[in-house]
């Protein structure tokens, strides 16, 4: 009969030891306020009080009860650890939610997307960024995993026409042909992506059935809108030519503005309204006196430029002439 040796220590010491098949190892570690123990003969476990090492020795069919994640008819297979059984009894299995990939359109240059006066020059280079999808644990489950959705082809368009990424797009904003209309220049981006290549886990470390199918991102867009202005001008003489420079030296109001109050300073001889509309609704002066009839529509239109001379339009002009006023007058215009 061979000699049998006995050794005692922690699980960490046993795991690090060179095992001898003729040695009995007693392993003890604290669990809460108590000790757990496992007995090995060489590398073979021959006894344990650790729940991870205790197993169901035959099939158990759950009958007539629902306990935790077990319901009637579930079968606990032989070899299932007691720890796994307790976990399913006392913990709810929590799954993940999926967030699909996104892509963002980037326009490098000036100005930024937005609304600008007609004549504004735009020069931008389109590109994009891509963000992978993600799996995130639902409430009570701290978990995050990139989905591994491969980025596919990116499609860039300007007003529906395909454009090349990285190539400058240069244009001048207009304002549409009719009074009150605008000019819209719309960039759009769509990026294809593949199905998730990473598999998320539930809080029980089971493979989740939540997936992300191959698809494409919702289009990311950036828009430039060009608009025309209307103008009110106060002039201190009766002779200056009414041209684009004079008109643009006044107060600008975006087309679509309903009305405006503007103070004519002392010395004003002419108040001029210039806009693309064909008629002026009404005007009033100090104390609300109606002066609509005093605004005389000029017989010929005036070419007025926008933010730059790259855009212009024909404006109707109304002029209110009177001797130079001695004190400030508040003019109210309903365009």
HEC-encoded secondary structure of 67-104: ECCECCCCEECCCCEHHHHHHHHHCCCCCEEEECCEEE
- Residue 314's nearest CA partner among 326, 323, 305 is 305
- What pLDDT is recorded for position 12? 85
- What pLDDT is recorded for position 247? 98
The residue written with tokens 């454009």 in the block is 163
DSSP E strands, 118-241: 121-131, 134-137, 144-146, 151-158, 161-162, 169-172, 183-193, 215-216, 220-227, 229-235
pLDDT in tens, 25-64: 777 777 666 567 777 777 887 766 665 666 666 787 878 7
Q: Is residue 131 within 8 Å of 244, Cβ to Cβ?
A: no
Angle (CA) 248-251-253 rounded to 5° is 100
120 contacts: CB under 8 Å, gap ≥ 6: 111, 172, 173, 226, 306, 307, 308
Q: Is residue 306 within 8 Å of 120, Cβ to Cβ?
A: yes
Give the C-alpha separation, 267 to 283, whole Å: 20
Region of poorest pLDDT, from 78-92, 107-121, 311-325: 78-92
Give the C-alpha separation, 182 to 111, whole Å: 18
Q: How confident is the model at residue 74 (pLDDT cuts 50, 70, 90)?
A: confident
Within 13 Å, how many C-alpha atoms sit on residue 221's CB side?
A: 10
Structure tokens at 300: 């010929």
Give the C-alpha separation, 321 to 285, whole Å: 13
- What pLDDT is recorded for position 254? 98
Q: Is the pLDDT of residue 1 over 60?
A: no
Task: List for the chain the helix, strand, coil content (%; round to 5).
Answer: 10, 45, 45
Mean per-residue pLDDT of the chain: 90
pTM of the model: 0.72
Domain residue ranges of the chain, discontinuous segments joined by +: 5-54, 96-227, 229-334
Structure tokens at 175: 């304002």
Q: Is residue 178 within 8 Å of 278, Cβ to Cβ?
A: no
pLDDT in tens, 268-297: 999 999 999 999 999 998 867 899 999 999
Region of poorest pLDDT, from 47-51, 211-215, 310-314: 47-51
């Amino acid at each position: 009969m061979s000699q049998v040796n006995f050794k005692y220590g922690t699980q960490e010491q046993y795991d690090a030891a060179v095992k001898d098949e003729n040695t009995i190892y007693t392993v003890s570690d604290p669990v809460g306020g108590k000790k757990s123990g496992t007995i090995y003969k060489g590398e073979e476990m021959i006894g344990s009080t650790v729940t991870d090492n205790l197993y169901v020795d035959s099939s158990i069919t759950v009958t007539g009860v629902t306990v935790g994640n077990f319901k009637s008819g579930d079968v606990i297979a032989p070899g299932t650890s007691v720890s796994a059984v307790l976990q399913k009894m006392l913990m709810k299995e929590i799954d993940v939610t999926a967030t699909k990939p996104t892509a963002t359109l980037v326009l490098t240059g000036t100005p930024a997307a937005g609304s600008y006066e007609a004549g504004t020059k735009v020069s931008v280079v389109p590109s994009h960024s891509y963000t992978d999808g993600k799996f995130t644990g639902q409430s009570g489950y701290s978990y995050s995993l990139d989905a591994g959705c491969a980025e596919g082809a990116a499609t860039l368009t300007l007003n529906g026409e395909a454009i090349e990424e990285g190539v400058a797009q240069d244009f001048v904003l207009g304002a549409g042909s009719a009074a009150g209309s605008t000019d819209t220049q719309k960039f759009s981006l769509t990026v294809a992506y593949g199905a998730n290549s990473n598999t998320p886990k539930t809080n029980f470390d089971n493979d989740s059935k939540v997936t992300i199918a191959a698809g494409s991102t919702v289009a990311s867009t950036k828009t430039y809108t060009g608009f025309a202005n209307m103008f009110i001008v106060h002039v201190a003489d009766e002779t200056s030519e009414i041209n684009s420079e004079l008109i643009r030296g006044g107060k600008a109001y975006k087309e679509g503005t309903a009305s405006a109050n503007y103070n004519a300073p002392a010395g004003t001889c002419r108040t001029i309204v210039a806009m693309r509309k064909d008629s002026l609704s009404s005007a009033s002066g100090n104390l609300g006196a109606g002066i609509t009839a005093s605004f005389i529509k000029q017989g010929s239109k005036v070419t007025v430029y926008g933010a730059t001379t790259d855009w212009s339009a024909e404006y109707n002009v109304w002029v209110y002439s009177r001797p130079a006023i001695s004190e400030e007058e508040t003019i109210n215009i309903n365009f």
